[in-house]
Amino acid sequence: MDVVIDILKYALPAIFLLILAYMMLSNFIENEEKRRRYFLKKETQKSALPTRMLAYERLTLFLERIHPDRLLVRVPAKKVTVRGYQQLLTHHIRQEFEHNLSQQIYVSDEAWQYVVNAKSSTVGIINSWAQDLDPDAPGVELSKHLLNKMMEQETHPIQNAIRVLRNEVRANF
């Protein structure tokens, strides 16, 4: 019995020190891993910031390019009918949108939804207002009709989307 007590006298402190050393070492390793992740994240954010800013710029440019006022200037209605011009405008908007699809990974879901809604609303407006005219009339008629209707509107979904993008940039950067 005395031998067991003598062994326990030496073994218990050794076991206690072993457990204490294990806990301290695991805590140190965990803290070092958190520190390493923090610096890695900080470095990644530093390199991703220009890319994110570029995404906001590209989406704003996309929205400006599909605004009917600017779109009509860029896509002339030469020698096409109202139906042909309508298809040309909507094709141009969809093409611009597809070109900027990858930007969605850099912006919030809310901002991306505003961009998608602005694109869809613009296509819907063009299609709706084109129905007011004779499909075989010259495309210039659609251009004039769109400009007149745009002047009557107070706000456009594109303006709302640009406002959301600006606010997001101000809040995050």
Query: Mean pLDDT for the chain?
Result: 92
Q: What's the pLDDT score for residue 46? A: 79
Tell me: the pLDDT tens digits for 57-106?
999 999 999 999 899 999 998 889 999 999 999 999 999 999 999 999 99
DSSP state string for the chain? -HHHHHHHHHHHHHHHHHHHHHHHHHHHHHHHHHHHHHHHHHHHHHHHHHHHHHHHHHHHHHHHHHSHHHHHHHS--TT-BHHHHHHHHHHHHHHHHHHTGGGGGGS-HHHHHHHHHHHHHHHHHHHHHHTTS-TTSBHHHHHHHHHHHHHH-S--HHHHHHHHHHHHHHHH-
pTM here?
0.74
Domain boundaries, the chain: 48-172
